[in-house]
Structure 1
Amino acid sequence: MNKYDWLSLMMVGICIVLSFFINENNKYPGIFLLVFSVLTITGVIFAFLSKKWSNIILRSALNIASFVFFFFLLLAMGIGER
């Protein structure tokens, strides 16, 4: 594994750790969505820079899956407020 593989995995880890800090008292969930989207895009870019097809597919899927999970988490929090 090269440094881009590790950076791509680190972006997934950061996204997972940040998801623990979201609660129903956040006034600005859009900021978390912006940070998550930036982390996901950089993770996918790092995955493509690794230049191995298996790593590209796996790391891109992990980054996109973490973003989709986070998006559904924010959506559920928004529905729960009503």
Structure 2
Amino acid sequence: MMSRFVVVPAIPTETGSMRNGSRFYCKTAPIGFNIYDNEEKLRLKTTYQAREEAEVECQRLNLERLQNVLSDRESMTTY
């Protein structure tokens, strides 16, 4: 089963551009890691500087989701 939340590299931000002849080059700065929601197909807004921070939050979100699913199933079987 695929996890709902996974860690992905953040999209670099543009810090400026320079021109070399007829070409423009964009300078970018890496900004860390995001958590991607596979169900909603979007990145969560929070950016983490270290992959470990993002992994911990990702595991917490997946565990929270699993607990919600299990409690929903449990409540359905009690009817």
TM-score (norm 2): 0.42
- Specify which structure has the higher proportion of helix: 1
By relative contact order (CA 8 Å, sep 6+), the higher-ranking structure is 1
- Specify which structure has the higher proportion of strand: 2
Larger radius of gyration: 2
